Amino acid sequence: MASRQPVIWWSLRCFMLLCGALGHDAAVKLGGVVGRLVGFFSFSRTARARSRAARILGVTDERAREIISGTYEHFGKALVEFIRLPRTYGNIGEFVTVKGEENIRAALSMGRGAIFLSAHIGCWEYGAAALSRRGFPMNALGTEQRDERITKAILDIRSRAGVKPVGKGMDLRAALTCLKKNEVLAVLLDQDAKNGGILSPFLGHLASTPFGIIKIAHRHGIPIVPVHITRDDDGRRMTMILEAPLEGRDGRPFGEDIKYAVDKCNERISEWIREKPGQWMWTYPRWESTLNDR
């Protein structure tokens, strides 16, 4: 059973109530301020993230400082947007522009479901909700937090935004169930798989990458559609881009050459991060298994 964290839980509950009482723009602005404050007072965590960004991207410390400061502000806003998702779900088109919808329709027309390849970049929760609102059957692998009350709150918000939870962690058997119903499964593939992954370049540096979902896609002929959603420059709207399904080397089925497939997935995610480095979760030790990145 997950442990309980009463201080974090009650702080989150109070923050959720405050975000619900404020207007949307004011609440999101507050989230950005709180995010920057968290970054300012999280000295060691922020320093590690800044060092990680400078080393991986090959930028100056000053530029890395800007990126990490922007990351904290972005995810502060994203937390508030997620908390308010049940309120904004009905008019989510006001906040999200979707490009490439024809790619998901083409993928689902095969009748085998579709896997969305995504990452912890931008506002992925809004992306899933926006497609659910457009009538696509959305599923997401479950999220386990240390406090089960937080896990329940996350799953409740997702469910109220039309996104069904599937299993726990990388529960591939549960994932296959929804795919057999010709539904969509969203997968975030930018976490360290430790000893269970394949070494593949991620932002130009080898990282252990999970590959089970790719093997399932190949075995059952399920298309993998790269999808990402990032915040626009105005800070309020977001743009979601659905790309054409990934293809294998020399016209072969995607996933037949598993190393090539994993490399292609990491290549797409890396490109998104380079475009919007301040909207990726640099606080996570992505290269812990390969670069002693803690």
Give me the residue spans of the domains in the chain: 6-283
- pLDDT for position 63: 98
Q: How many residues does the chain have?
A: 294
- pTM of whole model > 0.85? yes
| pLDDT tens, residue by residue, 219-237 | 999 999 999 999 999 888 9
**Higher pLDDT residue, 138 or 10?**
138
Q: What whole-number distance in Å separates Cα of residue 80 and Cα of residue 271?
A: 26
Structure tokens given for 69? 């400061």
Question: Tokens for 294?
Answer: 């803690």
Q: Please list the helix, strand and coil fractions of the chain in percent, rounded to the nearest 5, in that order.
A: 55, 15, 30
Sign of the C-alpha dihedral computed for residues 143, 96, 86 and 176 taken in this order: negative
Interval 179-203 mean pLDDT: 94
Residue 10 buriedness (CB in 10 A; 0-12 / 13-18 / 19+): exposed
Is 264 within 8 Å of 214 (Cβ atoms)? Answer: no
| Neighbour count for residue 102 (Cβ, 10 Å) | 10
Please return the burial class of 6, using the count of CB atoms within 10 Å of its CB with bins 0-12, 13-18 and 19+. exposed
Q: What is the arithmetic mean of pLDDT over 159-164?
A: 92
What's phi and psi for 147, nearest 5 deg? -100, 120
The label of the residue with tokens 């899933």 reads 128
User: What's the pLDDT at 145?
Assistant: 75
Cβ(198)–Cβ(277) under 8 Å?
A: no
Q: Which percentage of the chain shows pLDDT scores above 70?
A: 96
Please tell me the least confidently modeled range out of 7-16, 114-123, 269-278: 7-16
pLDDT value for 14: 92
* Region at 235 (left for phi over 0; alpha for psi -120 to 50; beta for the rest): left
Would you say residue 256 has pLDDT above 50?
yes
For residue 83, is pLDDT > 90? yes
What tens digit of pLDDT does each residue of 192-222 get? 999 999 999 999 999 999 999 999 999 999 9
CA-wise closest residue to 5 among 196, 201, 145, 169: 145
Q: How far is CA 36 from CA 31, 196, 260, 277, 287, in A?
A: 9, 35, 39, 16, 24
pLDDT greater than 60 at residue 170: no
Query: Could you give the angle at which helices 24-41 and 43-57 cross, rounded to 10 degrees?
Result: 90
pLDDT at residue 1, rounded to an integer: 45
pLDDT confidence of residue 196: 92
More confident residue, 8 or 26: 26
Q: What mean pLDDT value characterizes the chain? A: 92
- Per-residue pLDDT tens over the stretch 44-80: 999 999 999 999 999 999 999 999 999 999 999 999 9
